[in-house]
Chains A and B, each alone.
Chain A
Amino acid sequence: MNRFAELLDRLVLTPSRNGKLTLLVDYFRSVEDPDRGLALAAITGDLNIAAVKPAMLRTLVTERMDPVLFGYSYDYVGDLAETVSLVWPQTPGHIPNREPTLSDVVAKLQAASRSDGPKVLAGLLDSAGISARFAIIKLVTGGLRIGVSARLAKQALADFGKVDVAEIEELWHGLTPPYISLFAWLEGKAEKPQRTALALFSPVMLSNPVGDGDLEKLDPADYAAEWKWDGIRVQAVCEGGVRRLYSRTGDDVSGAFPDLAEAMNFSAALDGELLVGEPAATGTFSDLQQRLNRKSVTPKIQQRYPAFMRCYDVLQIDGEDLRALPFRERRVHLEAFIKTLDPSRFDLSPLVDFTDWQALEEMRRAPPHPIIEGVMLKRWDSPYLAGRPKGPWFKWKRDPHTVDAVLMYAQRGHGKRSSFYSDYTFGVWSGPEGAEELVPVGKAYFGFTDEELKQIDKFVRDNTVERFGPVRSVRADRKQGLVLEVAFEGLNRSTRHKSGVAMRFPRISRLRWDKPTAEADRIETLQALLD
């Protein structure tokens, strides 16, 4: 249990992706089965343990110590799991023969009935040290919150076994904790596990952005063009009565879109974009947001923002793998197949006719719907390949929006950037003339060069007004301050931000040392971009 606890402690404080991967790979290498597989399941959210409510945890601890002292402690720490792990009284003189392993803990928790759950938990806490107690409490209260996605965990497995992450994604849904066969294969001790489960995920094909001069080298006749829909990439797979809707990284998202899942009554694997509204009246990105990041969806939300899938590829029909066929032939299969499906839930991503790049460029600049974010180019003769091969698929995005904003707060970065103020909160003007105020509209931490970072860092240090821990507020008024040109992909309404808007994918595109702060943009400029 201590090794797992230590892993959690390190992961939560390690900001860099590479650092997290190193920690995970080392863990998989040094810990044996079944503990490492159970840790993996805990991280990916695939471990099934009956939850213990926070109130129960509180009761357990205050039965064992003075409630006033517990109160002081909890007030100070602020986190219940952490407080309980620290103050849990150790039986004097009682040194457990051996601390429980992760598999001991999981076995006991899974075997516990609802009524003896608290007693089992208390017994485990008695037998563990501080770090292990924290990890146990995290397991039973649900949600590790360590900043590691299932995707990152799969990448760590791939690094560990020196295989492509696509191979892991493809297998993932056929495997169950503690993943003994997976680890055996990754360590070279066994054959690759067979894909025996139904409706598995196929790693998706991704595109490269069109770079400077790319198009000049390409013949327009070799490529098909489609609109690039700004929804969620999904893969709908039905096989032998099993239906699964996967995200682009192979996570099963069927639960969030029961309306769409219900309409999946075919035998095929389709690739496309999940959107809301109806095919004839596609909703905007703001509408789509109503369906994102929800644990459960009410019938009302489903009715108001119905989900549908705009299909652009087909990987399999009736068990026949079509991925090796050229795009042109897959498209023919797709067009015929879509006709057999519920038209309110599935439609076809239309091809965009064009003769030369100039004509396509004009269409890209003036798309017919706000949820289109550019065009896709697909080579007619390309097979469906996992990953991001260079050449067959391109995305040619709409140019980003830009706004001139004023730097308001700067926060120190992490790792390589820990001595630099590298995360910037910026604002635009609002309020009546003569009484303008800056309202924060976003935060960005990239887009600038190392040289520019040094310059901004110096500006921040020389113009600090106040400090709050790692954050500094800088001089920013009508006369003084630093104007940043910020590029972003789109704007959503937000009730969480004072400004009422939230930027998508903001980054610093230019430093405007030359521009007086009073000439930075106003909030109305942004509001005009909404919807």
Chain B
Amino acid sequence: MRARDLLHPRPEGLYCPPGDFFIDPVRPVNRALITHGHSDHARSGHRSVLATQQTLDIMGLRYGEDFAGTTQAAALGAAMALNDVTVTFHPAGHVLGSAQIAVEHKGRRIVASGDYKRQKDATCAPFEPVKCDVFITEATFGLPVFRHPPDTEEIARLLKSAAQFPERSHLVGAYALGKAQRVMRLLRDAGYDRPIYIHGALAKLSEYYQSQGIDLGTLEPATVDSGGKQDFTGAIVVGPPSAFADRWARRFPDPISCFASGWMRIRQRAKQGGVELPLIISDHADWDELIATIKETGAGEIWVTHGREEALVRWCELEGIAARPLHLVGYEDEGD
């Protein structure tokens, strides 16, 4: 049996014929295995869903409790049999609950990474390299230009700016699941103990993170009811990036727009988006992490998905590792 007979792309998503399941399908299917709770990977309407308990909880928060026919929680590191295929979930270090999925059949192991990163992150379990024959890697930042600095340095720049411009508010754009909570946690770890104001879209997920033992400190809604404009003087406000272009942002005094994302590595990206203080904080592996991880898995073959596949495939060629792009549809390569 060839590797591609064990897992291959179909319009619905990555399919495993002997196990009869899909990984992160973009359309409703009979049985779905889900790596993490971001909406392009975790969709509602599947008949049965297998994912970590935290990913199931997050899907419940986003789509309502009836997001799937039946659900089953996968414990990290525990092997499970699906027909005659063995699947095991391993932490991916991307966001809370995120996992890689190892698929084994007749002595061959393929690991689908989902999205992952190697930088340490106090809001989720760290990535665990898994030896395998084929490693399916994401490539969101699959170009040598993407090199994420330590996240602590980025948060230090935010705090420095907050001290430099005490009369203004700092609006930090961060995706609602994962990035927002990581930014808040980094602020706490850096000793910032004032309340952090959050956009309504972050409330439920942040509360869930807190219930999972991730201390984010005092969070307050960034609503006008809670006070006048002057109440946000010197405040740090976290919200989804889309909100800052919106009328919502008018309640803040002379805001400095910040954006926490790996894309902020590229100045032109920051400039085009009107970002004054780019914070290079990413939940995806950067170039150095991608190539280190590929080596660590010991995989003889690499399949590259969503992102800039060509550079990573080229690097594998130079290293003498078989590699090919795996064209999966429906994932946003922009999200970070």
Contacts and interface: CB of A to CB of B under 8 A. Distances in A.
B266 A77 contact: yes
B254 interface: yes
Interface string B164-197: 1100000000000000000000000000000000
B164 A26 contact: yes
Contact of B273 (A6, A26, A70, A469): A469
A385 B318 CA distance: 70
Contacts of B245: 412, 418-419, 470
A416 B272 contact: no
B147 A78 contact: no
Contacts of B278: 13
Contacts of B266: 76-77, 82
Interface in A412-426: 412, 414-416, 418-420
B275 A419 contact: no
Interface residues of A, number: 36
A68 B268 contact: no
Interface stretch (B10-18, B34-42, B204-212, B307-315): B307-315
Interface stretch (A15-23, A42-50, A354-362): A15-23
Contact of B145 (A15, A26, A76): A76
A65 B276 contact: no
B258 to A, nearest CB: 10
A478 interface: no
B141 to A, nearest CB: 11
Contacts of B318: 66
Contacts of B267: 9, 12-13, 79, 82
A24 to B, nearest CB: 11
Contacts of B126: none
Contacts of A19: 165, 256, 276
A12 B275 CA distance: 11
Interface in B122-145: 143-145
Given A22-B165, A72-B308, A469-B273, A87 B244 contact: no
Given A78-B268, A470-B273, A470-B274, A72 B255 contact: no
B55 to A, nearest CB: 32
B166 to A, nearest CB: 10
A470 B275 CA distance: 11
Contacts, number: 94
A245 B268 CA distance: 37
Given A66-B318, A69-B315, A72-B310, A418 B265 contact: no
B47 interface: no
Nearest to B161: A10
Given A72-B308, A419-B244, A14 B276 contact: yes
Q: Classify the secondary structure of A's interface with B.
A: helix
B151 to A, nearest CB: 15
Contacts of A180: none
A106 B251 CA distance: 45
B256 to A, nearest CB: 8
Contacts of A65: 144
B63 interface: no
Contacts of A414: 274, 276
A78 B315 CA distance: 21
B291 to A, nearest CB: 11
Given A68-B314, A418-B249, A470 B143 contact: no
Interface of B: 143-147, 149, 157, 161, 164-165, 244-250, 254-257, 265-268, 270-278, 308, 310-311, 314-315, 318
Interface of A: 6, 9-10, 12-15, 19, 22-23, 26, 65-66, 68-70, 72-73, 76-79, 82-83, 86-87, 130, 412, 414-416, 418-420, 469-470
The 3 nearest A-B residue pairs measured at CB: A86-B145, A419-B249, A87-B144
13 contacts: A12-B271, A19-B256, A66-B314, A68-B314, A69-B144, A70-B144, A72-B311, A73-B145, A76-B145, A77-B266, A86-B265, A87-B144, A419-B247
